[in-house]
Structure formats: C-alpha cells, structure tokens
Amino acid sequence: MERTDALKNACKDFEEDLVLFYYGDDSAADHRRVEEHLKTCAPCRGFVEDLRKLLPQMAKPSELPQSFWDNYYHEMVAKLAVQQERNSWWKNLFVPMRRWMLPAFGTAGVATLAIGLVIGKGNWHPFGEPREKIPQEILADTNQLEFFRSMDMIETLSSLESPDGTKVQPGDDYHS
Amino acid sequence: MNQLAQQDLRDEEIVALCQQGQGEVFEILVRRYMEKAFRIAFDFTHNTEEAKDLSQDAFLRAFTRIKQFDGRSSFYTWFYRLVVNICLDYTRRKGRVIWERLEKEGEAGSEVVELVDTSALLDEEVIAGEAKRRADLTLEAMPNKQRTAFLLRNHQGLSIPDVARVMKTTEGTVRVYLHRAVAALRQSLLEFV
C-alpha cells in the first residue's frame, strides 16, 4: 500500500522538476533543490525510481545485423546516384554549347536592349502621358507676375483721394 | 581528396562541398547518420521496412535541399527536423491504422513481434515485452508534439535545447511536452514497476 501510495502521490508541483532531474536537464540550483526535497519525500523518490526503471528500457534499440546496415547504405547510395542523375540531365543538354554560351547570350542581350531603345524611344512613359509642353514665351516668370501685381496695387492706390480731399491722378506730383 | 580524409570532414565541410557540386561526399553523411535516422523512424512506425523507407526519404530530401541549408543551425539539427517531419506526415497519413494494428497485436498475444523471437522468452522478458507494447500504445495515443519531444530526448538523447531547435519551439515548451509524456507513460506502466 505504501508503495502504491508512493506511485500515485508524487508532488504535482515537483513532477516536472523530477523529470528534468532524472534526465539531468535541470540547473545546478534546481538539482540541489530537488535533491533536498527527495530526502524527505517518499512519493517523489518513488517517482524518480520508476523513471529509472522504465525509461531506459523504452529506449533500448533493437539489435540489427551489420548486413542490414550495409544493405541500407548501398541502397541509399544507389538512390542518391539516381537523384543526382535527375538533377543534372537538363544541364547535360547545354554542355556542348558551354564555350560559346556566354558571348552568344551576351550579344543577344545587347541587341535586344538596343532594339528596344530604338523602337521605344519617346514612346515609353512609365508615369503616364506627359503634360503638353508649354512654349517658353508663354510661361510666366514668377518675378514678372509679382511686378505686375504691384503695378496693379499702385494704380489702385493712385485712385485714392489725396490728403486734401482731391483725387490723386496718375502723374500728379503728390508732394506739391 | 582520398576517402580517409573525407571521413574526417566535419558535417559543415561536407555540406559546403555538396553545395559546390560535389554531391558524392553526401554519402559520408549517410554513413554517419543512417542509424539515428532509422531509429527515429522506427520509433514512429514500429516497422523495419517503413522505417527504412522513411529515413531514406529523409536523406533524399536533405540531398535535394542541401543548397537551401544556410548553416544557421547545425546539419544534424536540420536533418533531424526533416526526419521528424517525414515521420509526422507518415503518422498523420496512417492515423488510426497504427493504433488499430498495435491493438490487434496486443489482442493476438504478440504472435509477431518485430525483430524479436518470442518462442523462448522467460516470464520476465514476456512481461518486458508486454510493458513495451503498453508503452507503444501510450506513445501512439499521445499528441504528436509530446511524443516527438519524448522520442528525441529519451530515445535519441538530444539535449533539450537541441530538441527545441528540431521542433522549432522553446525550451520551456519542450520541458512541458516531456513532462506530460513521461507522466503519461509512467501512469500507463504502473503495474510493471
């Protein structure tokens, strides 16, 4: 009964630590902590003991003869050879052409670029149709616009009344 | 480079040679990892022929994808991941079939046990065989990730950081999976302790 109790009642809070303790995957501090706990806890001791009995048995590899591994290896080498052949069959098509491949493709590339530039010159607008070009003579200089605006203002000012109430005419000497 | 010198090459050096077009040196990696790859596959399949096929598929996949290996992890971590993924795909395809086959083997009293002749077993060995069968059933019933974490840690001896890299998860998550798997196995095998 005591043994059964020990099996069933390992401390839940310690179970994960006990598993790591068994595998040696815990830190030094945790290892010491678990060791201290095991000194006083029979259920947890039983838990670890069970793992020591059960888990190595599960991991025991089945014995296989050397002939199995030799056959395995030779089969694998044969499969790799087939795969390598599949990977390279298309490359073998180009082997006879290798010597002149680079200059040939280079020439073709340059020719294609040149033809494209000649035919497409002026006809390629990646950002949409360009705006209609405005003749230079019509383009308004910003400074000139400002000058004309100031002239407008002066004319407006000149229509204002003079200090003695008379209208100021253009050309009048204002200070007389 | 002679064969003896090739055998001394590190995994990363062999991978680099393969990536440069010297695919024939990949055979060294086969020799180096075929037993581990087979064992992982056997843990998932419990069948020698299927384990051989799956593990060899993993080598072929690694060979065809060798140029994609970028060296951020070690080769064996990358390769383990391939093997595990192939095995998990296999278990998803087979699904219930494995469970039923294991149950039938149990009902029939283990008339055929892979790689072991039961005819002359002593009582203790019969008990051990039954315990193993029960453990296999429990493993098959587990969620894939718990089973994978357990097999990689317990059977393959990978460290928890390496298991985490293979499974592309955190070490904390691996610890949780491992704990749950071990607790479930212990619970199912109480009578054999």
Say how many domains are in chain A.
1
Chain A residues whose beta carbon lies within 8 Å of the beta carbon of residue B182: 19, 22, 51, 55
Residues 6+ apart with CB under 8 A from B143: none
pLDDT in tens, A153-172: 666 666 655 555 555 555 55
For the question of whether the overall pTM of this predicted structure is more than 0.80, the answer is no
pLDDT in tens, B91-147: 888 764 545 555 555 444 444 444 444 444 557 677 777 777 888 889 989 999 999
- Read off the pLDDT band of B166 (50, 70, 90): very high
Average confidence (pLDDT) over B35-41: 94
Shortest CA gap B92–chain A (Å): 23
**For residue B53, how far is the Cα from the chain centroid?**
13
Residues belonging to chain B with any Cβ–Cβ distance to chain A shorter than 8 Å: 23, 26-27, 30-31, 34-35, 38-39, 42, 52, 56, 59-60, 63-64, 114-116, 128, 131-132, 135, 153-155, 159-160, 175-176, 178-179, 182-183, 185-186, 189-190, 192-193
Full residue range of the structural domain in which residue A32 is found: 2-58
In contact, B142 and B91? CB cutoff 8 Å: no
C-alpha–C-alpha distance, residues B38 and B155, integer Å: 12
In contact, A80 and B26? CB cutoff 8 Å: yes
- Read off the pLDDT band of B84 (50, 70, 90): very high
C-alpha–C-alpha distance, residues B180 and A17, integer Å: 12
For chain B, the maximum distance between any two Cα atoms, rounded to a whole number of angstroms, is 57
Tokens of B79: 């390769």
What per-residue confidence (pLDDT) applies to A48? Answer: 93
Residues 6+ apart with CB under 8 A from B39: A61, B51, B155, B156
Instruction: Determine phi and psi for B157, rounding to 5 degrees.
Output: 75, 20
Tokens of B75: 């080769």
In a domain, A45, yes or no: yes
* Long-range Cβ contacts of A122-131 (<8 Å, 24+ apart): none
Radius of gyration of chain A (CA): 48
C-alpha–C-alpha distance, residues A38 and B186, integer Å: 18
Of B59, B64, B192, the CB nearest to A76: B59
Chain A residues whose beta carbon lies within 8 Å of the beta carbon of residue B179: 15-16, 19-20
Shortest CA gap A62–chain B (Å): 7
What per-residue confidence (pLDDT) applies to B60? Answer: 96
Residues 6+ apart with CB under 8 A from B8: none
User: Which residue type occupies B186?
Assistant: R
Look at chain A and count its residues: 176
**For residue B190, how far is the Cα from the chain centroid?**
25
- Read off the pLDDT band of B161 (50, 70, 90): very high
Percentage of residues of chain A with pLDDT beyond 70: 56
C-alpha–C-alpha distance, residues A157 and A150, integer Å: 10
What per-residue confidence (pLDDT) applies to A95? Answer: 57
Question: Up-side HSE of residue B61: CA atoms within 13 Å toward CB?
Answer: 17
Beta pairing partners, A161: A167
In a domain, A8, yes or no: yes
What per-residue confidence (pLDDT) applies to A45? Answer: 94
In a domain, A97, yes or no: no
In a domain, A53, yes or no: yes
Task: Kindly tell me if the per-residue pLDDT of A4 is higher than 60.
Answer: no
Question: Up-side HSE of residue B130: CA atoms within 13 Å toward CB?
Answer: 15
What per-residue confidence (pLDDT) applies to A58? Answer: 82
Q: What share of residues in chain A are helix, strand, coil (percent, to 5)?
A: 70, 0, 30
Place of tokens 């065809």: B64
ipTM at complex level: 0.78
Average pLDDT in chain B: 84
In contact, B174 and B151? CB cutoff 8 Å: no
- Read off the pLDDT band of A115 (50, 70, 90): confident
The sign one gets for the Cα dihedral A91, A94, A98, A104 is negative
Place of tokens 């200059």: A103
Residue, of B14 and A92, whose pLDDT is higher: B14
